[in-house]
Amino acid sequence: MREAAYEATEVRGYTLMHDANRRRLREPVEGLISALVTLRTRRRATLDTGFPRVHYVILAALGASTLFCFLLEVAAQPQWLDVPAVRLLFALLLALLTSATSFVSDIKDPFQGHYRLSTARVDRTRVTILERVGLVSSEPPGGSF
């Protein structure tokens, strides 16, 4: 049998192996990668639009209604035992509104902030796919030492 002549090319820290059989696999894989990039671009464009303004209007309305209800309760005839309970209720409602606003503003961009998606898994999956197709070799050219 004739052994295939390999050409090694270094790309981003990975060794790309080329021979006649693998070259014919390259075009379909490049087409799939192109389709994946197109889908990712559409998804990022959708994600970058953020939340509709109605979400922020609802949060503002909840905050205003909380303040209004608190002022109504305070303006009424105060009872000695109700003052700490009303203050505690107001503090809890304000904390809930603040945390909801923080959460909504943080998940507006899923790749930054406290609640974010990790891209490490995507990178590992990409390398695994390229290794299985045979376009990337994890070993240096010429075999291991």
CB atoms within 10 A of CB 6: 13
pTM to 2 decimal places: 0.37
Model confidence at 64, in pLDDT bands (50, 70, 90)?
confident
- Nearest C-alpha neighbor of 19 from the set 32, 30, 8, 5: 5
CA distance 31 to 67: 57
Helices (H), 49-81: 53-75
The pLDDT score that the predictor gives to residue 1 is 43
pLDDT at residue 117 greater than cutoff 80: no
